[in-house]
Structure 1
């Protein structure tokens, strides 16, 4: 998954470039274009000040004219260091860098709706291969785009082609089971008979709208009492009935809303903290590195708690979100309360609490990835997963604008995510 790197969106210090075009009139209110040298020739009392987003003409101590940067910008670093400086996405265009991340997540959202249906129709393997080839091509093309419009177009396509899933492919399932049985020296026919018997015992899908019965032999250690229908009916379209279950069945509807909220919250927190990692410490790259490395212990702890100690996905999801929300709340309070700013080591405390908060949030996100499919019947599991991921991408669309908000309200960087996670 291609994400925004710290150097890709870096904004180095900048000012307006010198304007070398001749002025039309120094006596009128419209000074037109000007330069220091030309002005000094006409009137030694005039001076030019180059600010970040404007150029001002000052007569002694009085400003007599101000204009936008008419000749571009001058950066302390090389222009090619990031797309922000290369295409002058500053001042009135300062919101455009965040749009690239929004477009990226919109592409993911489109892909999560489109490609599950394609893989159901044409199979997982061909769709997977095509997706990977297109991803490679779009990724290479993105590195050579000449302008901003082409860049965001590549970002959209690059992530749209990532998603695929499949279900109800019983012939393929039996082939896989046979290969697995052969590899593990198990009787192939016995495995297939067991698979077919279990499939035939599943409750018809049409009963989902009225009641849902358990099937203990198909449940995982924590999967809810949902079952799906693996049978097909000739001449009928099962997809409308499958999708209607998200609205007609009260239990499925409530679970869907909860799952969408969890994924949205986790995405806002994850992408927001990742994009704001440069504000954790003074050094941009150190902040990004610390933020990324905080995910490694979260992954290790998740494996240990989930597999070795059998904590269960439900409890792990609850505990990890409480942990993340609590420490992000502490980080936001330390940055908000005026008295806290005078405490010794408050900057280090904010850094530690924010990293622990991200640790808990990543732990919860990992749990949600595994727990979500267990909440839905087999026949709508892929669709439900796609809905959850789409909700997560909505959070990813919103998250990049945290950078814009923080430019004006620094404390907001953790406060919004804390409220979302604690809810």
Structure 2
């Protein structure tokens, strides 16, 4: 089949049609930045201790009723135990002062009357609402895990559904799911209900992000496609992420925060009439007339003249003769060279996700204000995405991806060398690691989309995103490994990043290559990737890559 980009070259790369698609699809990812990290503030654990019932105790005795505990070299109130109130009451009734009594001789008891939570930072979180502390403290990180399990399931199903039924329906249905169930969470009467709804929100969150990413990658072409897939969607995601701490700072009640986060989703409903289906996908399904109608409408918006027949009848017949069956996730491991690519990508995606979300969720535990730390963690992604775009524009993919993971993992080893009196340096190193991992994540989204053909692209990106969510589901517990060794999470993550950096070098190169349309083209390119660089010195790779296509077509499997 004649290359899609060559066939539609008359449209240009940055006309009115492409501009509308670019900005509408980019803005659709802003709520994803809200949803992915909202748990940082929704489930943060404020300072707390056992509640002391009103039992005619003086303020002095109430303060003395909570044992002290040494935490990281500092004395803090015990969060889960108190001295027996009956004993305290008797001592107070007998006229003793706390200074006159050896409190270590008094028995302890659990917080049978509940807890008192500090309101210095939050009015309420799900932790204070549902008492997710002490014996139930495991529920706090498990809340994040449940969300990421929803993301995992969404990645698995949405990719295959999108490849079967189209990018556009999946994009809008999953946007609706995310918006609606985020709002319904406001009315959660218990942690169990909240968690079930959070799982469903996760189903929609990654599904609409991947669908928007693939849809834009297939409609846009050349340098604009690279800009969109590496910087566009990622930058708007970071904008949503940066807005999250601002919203949480202004609204300290978790239910009201959810209302604020759900409202922007309503704005995107009218986009259905402005965002078309992917012509590439329609052609892969043999729906040539629908694809031509979209391209002709695009030509009209760009004020250019479209050919009378854009996709020739012989091309449609060629696809029908092939009789290609719908592709599934099994096609990702069907042949040896595609299987090798898939397995390497699975490892890399899982490592990046574990590190990216682990460091992001850890911002509330870092030294300093949690809102400021979260904003810095989000803002550091902007230069990371700019660097990823420049790398995709001018550097080979393998080198860029490997270097970003080497940076992200390497600096984490140095955190253990920082003196305790320089906490800001530790934060700076962790943010540098976040920079590398965010850059690597953006690169891998674009790189993965370029490696797989149209008939398998959404399934591939969705499957990689699904596997990556195994890493993100582990991340909330991964950062708790510091109870065994303060720097253990950084050491393990650094080792995984270096391993992934090395394995990335075994992936095929896609720099200056056309997007493959069929599995056969992908297999050919995997074996003769050096041919992707033909004529790069003489031509602009985004304007004339037909020579490469002709060479690929002439090579036998």
Which TM class, normalised by the smaller chain length? 0.7 to 0.9
Question: How far 1:366 sits from its partner (Å)?
Answer: 0.6
* 2:369 matches 1:283: yes
Aligned match of 1:108: 151
| Shift in alpha-carbon separation, 1:279–1:19, aligned structure 2, 3 A | closer
Per-residue deviation, residues 121-178 of structure 1 (Å, max 9, x unmatched): 4443334333222222101111221210111111111121341658433424333333
Match of 2:480 among 404, 411, 418: 404
Aligned match of 1:63: 105
Per-residue deviation, residues 354-393 of structure 1 (Å, max 9, x unmatched): 2222111111111100000222233222221121010111
Scaled by the length of structure 2, the TM-score of the pair is 0.59
C-alpha separation between the residues in 1 aligned to 2:37 and 2:300? 44
Question: How far 1:180 sits from its partner (Å)?
Answer: 2.8
Query: Which ranges of structure 2 fall in alignment gaps of 5 or more residues?
Result: 1-31, 68-77, 92-100, 212-277, 500-557
* 2:80 matches 1:53: yes
Structure 2 counterpart SS, 1:400 = helix
Question: Are the equivalent residues in 1 in contact too, given 2:328–2:456 (CA < 8 A)?
Answer: yes
C-alpha separation between the residues in 2 aligned to 1:174 and 1:256? 33
Query: Which ranges of structure 1 fall in alignment gaps of 5 or more residues?
Result: 21-34, 39-43, 202-228
C-alpha separation between the residues in 2 aligned to 1:83 and 1:231? 58
Aligned match of 2:447: 371
* Greater helix share, structure number: 2
C-alpha separation between the residues in 2 aligned to 1:129 and 1:49? 53
| Shift in alpha-carbon separation, 1:365–1:378, aligned structure 2, 3 A | same
Aligned match of 1:255: 341
Structure 2 counterpart SS, 1:297 = helix
Question: Are the equivalent residues in 1 in contact too, given 2:160–2:328 (CA < 8 A)?
Answer: no
Question: How far 1:49 sits from its partner (Å)?
Answer: 4.2
* 2:184 matches 1:141: yes
The alignment's C-alpha RMSD in Å is 3.0
* 2:424 matches 1:348: yes
Question: Are the equivalent residues in 2 in contact too, given 1:16–1:69 (CA < 8 A)?
Answer: yes
Question: Are the equivalent residues in 2 in contact too, given 1:242–1:379 (CA < 8 A)?
Answer: no
Match of 1:179 among 297, 300, 303: 297
Greater relative CO (CA pairs within 8 A, separation 6+): 2
How many residues matched?
Answer: 359
Which residues in structure 2 correspond to 1:119-158 (within 5 Å)?
119-158=162-201
Aligned match of 1:221: none
Per-residue deviation, residues 258-295 of structure 1 (Å, max 9, x unmatched): 00111101101110010112343222222212111111
Aligned match of 1:214: none
* 2:412 matches 1:328: yes
Question: Are the equivalent residues in 2 in contact too, given 1:56–1:63 (CA < 8 A)?
Answer: no
C-alpha separation between the residues in 1 aligned to 2:299 and 2:45? 56
Which residues in structure 2 correspond to 1:376-395 (within 5 Å)?
376-395=452-471
Scaled by the length of structure 1, the TM-score of the pair is 0.76
Per-residue deviation, residues 56-89 of structure 1 (Å, max 9, x unmatched): 2368535353321111001221774211112111
